[in-house]
Structure 1
Amino acid sequence: MVGLKRAVVLLSGGMDSSTVLYMAKSEGFELHAISFDYGQRHVRELECARAVAQKAGVKEHIVVRTNMDAWGGSALTDKYLEVPENEPDKGRIPITYVPARNMIFLSFAASYAEAIGSQDVFIGVSEVDYSGYVDCRQEFIDAMEKAINMGTVCAVQDGRKISIRTPLIHMTKSAEIKLGIKLGVDYGLTWTCYKGEDLACGTCDSCTLRLKAFREAGYKDPIPYKAVSSGARPFYP
């Protein structure tokens, strides 16, 4: 089991995680994807994660079910909080931040990785074009990796440390799209909108960042929108 080159990829079904999945694939890893049904506002991304995993040839795709909506604290898990329609104040953490979400997800991923003999956990966080979430920063990733390797037998006893791979951490989303298209990512299978309706809203922070990235990359976003926020109109070549 130790000799196999396996990667655990956190796969939400969004643009970033799907790109990272294909980046891991391009490195020759056997792909093991992990997604989370954590009580989020909708399951549209999970449906997309299954489609992306199938097309990418993922060896195993696990969906972990938790109930983070039990305590809420985010517009993505709390039915009493509304998803903001326009870009939030960049000086404040958006209300769509889910408390300690990446800490929880990476803990599950580390357990999965240790169990299957993987030393590489991929996650699609970025410090460049993102919403300002504190658990997307390099400092957090470094601290989490250290904690994982202090609390797993594979690292402490066997000397097989787990590495948290963040290939998008310093990459703009437009550069990510260009790379993803070269790698064969079907962005039409992905979902980024914070809302789970038939059409992406085009006005939430997540949609705004995505549309801006496609415009700057010179490609048309393949998913349909019901509205488009100011300054982030789709690019039609």
Structure 2
Amino acid sequence: MSDARPVHTQALVLFSGGQDSATCLAWALSRYERVETIGFDYGQRHKVELTCRGRFLEALKQRYPQWARKIGDDHLLDLALLGQISDTALTQDKAIAFASTGLPNTFVPARNLVFLTLAAAIAYRRGLTVLVGGMCETDYSGYPDCRDDTLKALQVALSLGMDSRFLLDTPLMWLSKAQTWHLAESLGGRPLVELIREETHTCYAGDRQTRHAWGYGCGSCPACELRRKGHDTYLEAPAP
């Protein structure tokens, strides 16, 4: 009996320009036949990440020709409305702190839900059946829209709502930040680690002036702290 289920060979990667999504892009390129990318301009304070994503993509194509031929179109969506309705430290000029909910005020409500819904709409039109995101429930800030249960539910909702079987791949879901660095090395060697260190951006403050061993950033925001600790552990412990 033949298997009539669709074969997932083409993916759309949510690529912000940060460490996690850059690693996911390399992971997708090692796994799928064609890979497109999508980014979002939502009024984020660290808008410099959008510049970084273009530089990273070009450098990736030049240094990894085996991946370059798989890379398709890049999509950048204007989501200024999301920033306008979000009163957060990620979209407004305010100090980063913890809210009464226990979440940092960098949490942009529904951000990943909106991102993935719009990505699915693009993927539907482009004939792509896999959405790849760098959401993680291990070393993360506690955002509820990064949790595995949320994304599993959204996969079902998107597939039902568009009558098309989507697969949400989250390769970093159960990895620590150190393991994410190790994953990058396993995919593209130390040159990929160096490319991620130099050309990606994670810092919520948008600092591209201060260079650390792990990359650029203010060094004190939650994103910088996670990246620094993960990089330190990566250097201290060999890959399992």
1:12 Cα offset (Å) = 0.6
Task: State yes or no: 1:101 paired with 2:128.
Answer: no
* 1:224 alignment partner in structure 2: none
Distance 1:4 1:135, change over 3 A: closer
C-alpha separation between the residues in 2 aligned to 1:3 and 1:147? 20
Runs of 4+ in 1 over 3 A off after TM superposition: none
Task: State yes or no: 1:42 paired with 2:46.
Answer: yes
Distance 1:145 1:3, change over 3 A: closer
Please give the TM-score of this superposition, normalised by the length of structure 1.
0.82
- 1:94-133 pair list within 5 angstroms: 94-133=104-143
- List runs of 5+ in structure 2 lacking aligned partners: 1-5, 61-67, 211-216
C-alpha offsets along residues 184-212 of structure 1, whole Å, 9 cap, x if unaligned?
23211111100113221100110000000
Task: State yes or no: 1:164 paired with 2:168.
Answer: yes
The one of 182, 186, 202 aligned to 2:186: 182
- 1:75-90 pair list within 5 angstroms: 75-79=89-93, 81-84=94-97
User: Does the 8 Å CA contact 1:7/1:122 hold for their aligned counterparts?
Assistant: yes
C-alpha separation between the residues in 1 aligned to 2:8 and 2:106? 38
Amino acid corresponding to residue 215 of structure 1 in structure 2: D
> SS where residue 218 of structure 1 aligns?
helix
Distance 1:129 1:170, change over 3 A: same
> SS where residue 149 of structure 2 aligns?
helix
Aligned length: 208
User: Does the 8 Å CA contact 1:130/1:209 hold for their aligned counterparts?
Assistant: yes
- List runs of 5+ in structure 1 lacking aligned partners: 156-160, 220-237
Distance 1:203 1:146, change over 3 A: same
* 2:228 alignment partner in structure 1: 211
* 1:63 alignment partner in structure 2: 76
- 1:212-227 pair list within 5 angstroms: 212-218=229-235
Residue range with higher mean Cα deviation, 119-128 or 57-66: 57-66
Amino acid corresponding to residue 92 of structure 2 in structure 1: D
C-alpha separation between the residues in 2 aligned to 1:16 and 1:76? 18
User: Does the 8 Å CA contact 1:7/1:30 hold for their aligned counterparts?
Assistant: yes
- Percent of aligned pairs with the same amino acid: 34
1:4 Cα offset (Å) = 8.6
Please give the TM-score of this superposition, normalised by the length of structure 2.
0.81
User: Does the 8 Å CA contact 1:83/1:194 hold for their aligned counterparts?
Assistant: no
The structure that is helix-richer by fraction is 2
